[in-house]
Each structure stands twice: as C-alpha cells, then as structure tokens.
Structure 1
Amino acid sequence: MVPVRLSGPRLAIREYHHTEGDVAALHALFGDPEVTRYLPFGPSGVEDCADQVELYLEEALAEERDTYRLAVTRLADAEDPRDAPPIGQASLTLGGHRAGDLGCVLARECWGRGYAGEAVGLLCGFAFGALGLHRLTARTAVDNTAAAKVLRGLGFRLEGRLRHDGFKDGVWSDSFLHSLLADEWPGPAVG
C-alpha cells in the first residue's frame, strides 16, 4: 500500500489508523444525528465505527484499490498531521472509464470555516493528478445547499436531479448529481 497523504493550507488528508483515537473520532462524526442527516445511514455506534475503520484499512490494502476513505485532519492539531485526530472524512470511489464519485463529511464544529472546500479540493487534485481520472461526480441531498455551494465553488456543474435516489428511515429522497471534468478543474486556489 502506498499511503495517501495530502495537505493544504489548513488541512491534511491521510489514511485511517486502527487506533482508539481514530475510532473515537469516526464515532464522534458518524454518531452525530445532525452530521448523518444527509448521509445514507443514521447514527452509528462505536463498534460499527471500529468495524468501518477496519474495512477502510482492508480497502487501502487492495491490490487494485478502487475505494479511498480517508481521514481529514487539521494541520494545527498536531506537530505531525499523521498523528492529528480526524475532524472529518473524505471519500473517493473509482468507477469505469477513469471516473470517480467523491464525498466529504465534517464534524459539526468544523462547519462554516471553508474546510469542506479545502478537503474536496485536495481530493479533486489527487483524483485528477495522481490517479489520472477524467470525470468526478458528487451527490448532494436536494436541501443540502451548503454542500452544493462548496461543489459549485470548485467548478462542479449540476447535471440533474436523481429522483428517489435514497431510502432512509422509511422515506425516499431525491439528490442532485454534480460533475467536474479534468479539463474544467482549475487546480488548487493560490494565495
């Protein structure tokens, strides 16, 4: 495995570690009903989060890796960003024809600080650069205007509405599909 390590002005993205700290951080994220409101699953328990971290590590070791579920950390939280506790998760799932689907979720206390744009921007740079992808997609719940704004700010375009795309708690929901092509990617913001 070649570990993924990305860093921007304020954030770093790294592989998860199967440690008590990373499991606790994932539980703080996925155990929060407000954070999971727009995710396809409800709040998760500690054991489920420990199982998830184990799965993430297995996916990272795959010979033909097609799934990247990565910890988002603040650079200021540790001397070495590999030791900083996660404040969120960035994910990238590869598909056929040099395409991928990405996502990002952050702890509630990190909302509104521009971290989502930085994390998704780092993931886009990785996808279009190191992985050589041609197309990225991202889905947002129709009422998650903050996520749609982050994507638009990075150059993603709205492709359309996916009707009854999700089913959670006995209710169908729609989502918006956004996309970005490699030749539309402006690269990381400078300054």
Structure 2
Amino acid sequence: MVPVRLTGPRLAIREYHHTPEDVDALHALLGDPEVTRHLTFGPRDRDTCADQLELYLEEAMAEDRSTYQLAVCRREDAEDPAEAVPVAHAGLTLGGFRSAELGCVLRPEVWGRGYATEITGLLCGFAFGPLGLHRLAARTDVDNPAAARVLTKLGFRLEGRIRHDVHKGGVWSDSHQYSLLVDEWPGPTE
C-alpha cells in the first residue's frame, strides 16, 4: 500500500487511522441526519461506522486498490495533518475504462467555506495525475444545489437526470449525473 496524502491550501486528505478519534469523526459525519440527508443511506450508529472504517483500511491494503475512502482534515488543526481530526470524508471508486466516481461529505460546522471545492479539486488532481484516469463521474441528489455548484465550478458537466436512482426511507428520489474528462480539467486552483 502506498498511503494517499493530498495537500491543498487549507486541507489535507489522508488515509484513515484505526483510532477512536477517526471512528468518532466518521460517526460525526455518517451519524448526522443533516449530513446523510442527501446520501443514499440514513444515519449510521458508531459501531457501524467503526466497521466501515475497518473496511476502508482493508480496501487500502488491497494489492489492486480500486477504492479510496479518505479522511479530510484542516491543516490548521494540527502541525501534522496525520494527527488532525477529520472534518470531512472523500471517496474515489475506480471503474472500468480508466474512470472513477468521486464524492465527499462534510460536517455541517464547516459547510459554506469552500472546502468541498478544495476536496473535489484535490481528488481530480489525484485521479487525472498519479492514477492516470480519463473520466470522473459524480452523482448528486437533485435537491442538493450546493453539490451541483461545486461540480460545475470545477468543470464537471451535467449529463442528465437519473430517475428513481435512490430508494431511502420508503421514498424514491432522483439524482443528477455529472462528469469531467481529463482534457476538460483546468488543473488545480488556489
């Protein structure tokens, strides 16, 4: 395993650690109904988050790694980002034909600061750079205009609406599908 470490102006993206602090941070995200409102699943309890983190660590050790589930920390929170408590989660799942799907979720107390744009930009740089991918995709809840703004700001194009894409709480909802090709990527912005 080659640990992922991505650094932006304000954020650092790293592998999760098998620590109570990282489990608590993941639970603060995935256990929050406001955070999971636009996700494909509802709030998760701490034990489920601990199991999820264990899975992330196993995936990170895979010889042919196809999933990157990563912790996002503010650089200002610790001298070494490896020691900082995560405030967000970033994911990149590789598919066929040099493609991947990406996404991120943030704790509500850091919403509106441009962090989602920075995270997505770092993931794009990683995907199109070291991973050598050609295409990135992202799906958003149609009722999440903030996510759509982040993607379009970085050059993603709306491909269309996926009807009844998610079934959650007994209700079907639609998603928007966005994509970005390597030759459309403007590169890192600071």
Please confirm whether the aligned pair reaches a TM-score higher than 0.5, indicating the same fold: yes
SS of the residue corresponding to residue 89 of structure 1 reads strand
Which whole-Å deviations, capped at 9, do the CAs of 1:143-179 have from their partners, x for residues lacking one? Answer: 1000000000000000000001001001111000000
Structure 2 partner of 1:91: 91
Displacement, 1:47? 0.3
Structure 2 partner of 1:55: 55
Structure 2 partner of 1:136: 136
Structure 1 partner of 2:167: 167
Structure 2 partner of 1:75: 75
- For structure 2, the residue ranges without an aligned partner over 5 or more in a row are none
Is the counterpart of residue 178 in structure 1 residue 161 in structure 2?
no
Give 2:35's aligned amino acid. Answer: V
Matches of residues 13-162 of structure 1 in structure 2 within 5 Å?
Answer: 13-162=13-162
Length-normalised TM-score, structure 1: 0.99
- For structure 1, the residue ranges without an aligned partner over 5 or more in a row are none
Which whole-Å deviations, capped at 9, do the CAs of 1:100-132 have from their partners, x for residues lacking one? Answer: 000000000010000000001000000000000
Give 2:118's aligned amino acid. Answer: E
- Whole-Å separation in 2 of the counterparts to 1:120 and 1:77: 20
SS of the residue corresponding to residue 28 of structure 1 reads helix
Displacement, 1:69? 0.4
| Identity across the alignment (%) | 72
Is the counterpart of residue 4 in structure 1 residue 33 in structure 2?
no
Give 2:6's aligned amino acid. Answer: L
Displacement, 1:187? 0.6
- Whole-Å separation in 1 of the counterparts to 2:20 and 2:63: 27
- Whole-Å separation in 2 of the counterparts to 1:147 and 1:109: 16
The alignment yields a C-alpha RMSD, in angstroms, of 0.5
Give 1:34's aligned amino acid. Answer: E
Displacement, 1:95? 0.3
- Whole-Å separation in 2 of the counterparts to 1:31 and 1:90: 16
SS of the residue corresponding to residue 149 of structure 2 reads helix
Give 2:147's aligned amino acid. Answer: A
Which whole-Å deviations, capped at 9, do the CAs of 1:5-35 have from their partners, x for residues lacking one? Answer: 0000000000000100000000111111000
SS of the residue corresponding to residue 38 of structure 1 reads coil
Length-normalised TM-score, structure 2: 0.99
Structure 2 partner of 1:187: 187
